[in-house]
Structure 1
């Protein structure tokens, strides 16, 4: 999952911002959803002939989306070497904020522009495990990773505890770890998704040799039933200066 960057900022300049959310309620609509962060995960397949159009539409929607009061973070990236496969992570203050986003003019334009370029689209409601991020993403060459894990059901609580601690430590002590978002698919709670942002590849490489990451690997290796790890490319990243 992660790494560390050698020497970037002083400890005083590191700002730790983490959301710890545990909820089992239905989050499909604003009326049903509990208060708190509302996170959507999307897996998109783009027509190879339409990649340029999709990337332009994604860039166009990013800035106005972040201007919405209820939007916390909005990230997308494509699999490296397989650019038609795109992951999107959207974090809203609550489900009502997501509903407001859907009605916005910029989303309506994006929906219209992206419809002809999509081959397949899978969107999931999620239950956040831990959303950890430093305010703002200013790196000129961010390194993005996505992980898809399946956890043994009888080990799920223990795994969540271990990964929360690992994320907290990584955000707090590693200057090059910019964000690690961990969520479970709402209808498949043993299926977890991670969207990880590092200052650069060196930060990632340093992270995976850090003591807290090594401890996480040793603690959880028997808890993980299956995993897929992806290096990502062409990221469009946006996060508010504070949660």
Structure 2
């Protein structure tokens, strides 16, 4: 999908916050592909003491709100807990670049959050990720249906998979009002391992999405490329985009 403003294209990433009301990034113009770095993406998988979940939620919400309000380099900040396993929290952070992320780590609100939640955190896995496709509406509601997925792709078919999923994400964001965001990223050290963080208006919007012609086309094209998948419904804890 062509961008409506002259933002530099990047490797398969899209984001409404940076350029347009509908954020999409890709290599539609290869000659310009190196003109700007892609967003810097961090994934965190946290195991939180269930007896302290309420306190963790308060601290996490305050931290996310301060980050979005005070940091010009932040692009998106989302957190969700697995349904049925509320102590398992996934956090998706997107920054304009690595420097913005490093600046985030030095902020007083991050240091306060880390200090307050360290005793509540039983386990922590941090992953640097590479954008495959990042699609989002310009605004998100505070509560929505969140689904997360972990996919393993046949390395020999990875480029073909990325093309197919990018087309599917672009179409979904463009034509489905109830598809609010689909973020697809690859683990930097394991590029055939993809992670998805998907946001829908409600269950009906999700069901409409999986019944859509473009999603069915994606399934038909990619089913032989996917070697394993894990799909999970999650409870949104914080869904944040900057208002600027």
The yes-or-no answer on 1:132 pairing with 2:138 is no
Higher RCO, Cα 8 Å, sep 6+: 1
Q: Which residue of structure 2 aligns with residue 69 of structure 1?
A: 72
Counterpart contact for 1:148–1:191, Cα < 8 Å = yes
Q: Secondary structure at the match of 2:211?
A: coil
Give the match for residue 17 of structure 1: 23
Verify the 8 A CA contact 1:141 1:200 in the aligned structure 2: no
Verify: 1:86 aligned to 2:92, yes or no.
Answer: no
Q: How far does residue 114 in structure 1 lie from its aligned partner after superposition? A: 1.0
**What's the counterpart of residue 218 of structure 1?**
220
- Asked whether the equivalents of residues 42 and 87 of structure 1 are also in contact (C-alpha less than 8 Å), the reply is yes
Match of 1:108 among 85, 101, 111: 111
Q: Is the 8 A contact 1:135 1:240 kept in 2?
A: no
CA contact 2:64–2:240 (8 Å) conserved in 1: yes
Question: 1:37, 1:103 → 2: CA distance?
Answer: 19
Q: Secondary structure at the match of 1:169?
A: helix
1:235 deviates by 2.5
Q: Distance in 1 between matches of 2:75 and 2:221?
A: 31
SS of 2:72's partner is coil
Gap regions ≥5 residues in structure 1: 1-13, 23-33
> 148, 157, 161: which one pairs with 2:150?
148
Measured in 1, the distance between the counterparts of 2:61 and 2:243 equals 19
Q: Distance in 2 between matches of 1:133 and 1:241?
A: 14
TM-score, with structure 2 as normaliser: 0.85
Runs of 4+ in 1 over 4 A off after TM superposition: none
Offset at residue 21 of structure 1 (A): 7.3
Asked if 1 retains the 8 angstrom alpha-carbon contact of 2:57 and 2:237, the reply is no
Q: Deviations over 1:56-81 (max 9, x none)?
A: 11111111111210000000000001
Q: Which residue of 2 aligns with 1:48?
A: 50
SS in 1 for 2:67: helix
Offset from partner CA, 1:50-108 (integer Å, 9 cap, x none):
11111111111111111210000000000001101111000000000001111111101
2:8 aligned partner: none
Give the 5 Å matches for 1:161-180.
Answer: 161-180=163-182
Matched, 1:120 2:123: yes
RMSD value, Cα: 1.7
Flag the 1:36–1:155 CA change in 2: closer, same or farther, 3 A. closer
Matched residue SS, 1:240: coil
- Aligned length, in residue pairs: 217
- Note the 1:201-240 alignment, pairs <5 A: 201-240=203-242
Runs of 5+ in structure 2 lacking a partner?
A: 1-19, 29-35
Structure 2: distance between partners of 1:101 and 1:58 = 14
Paired residues for 1:173-188 under 5 Å: 173-188=175-190
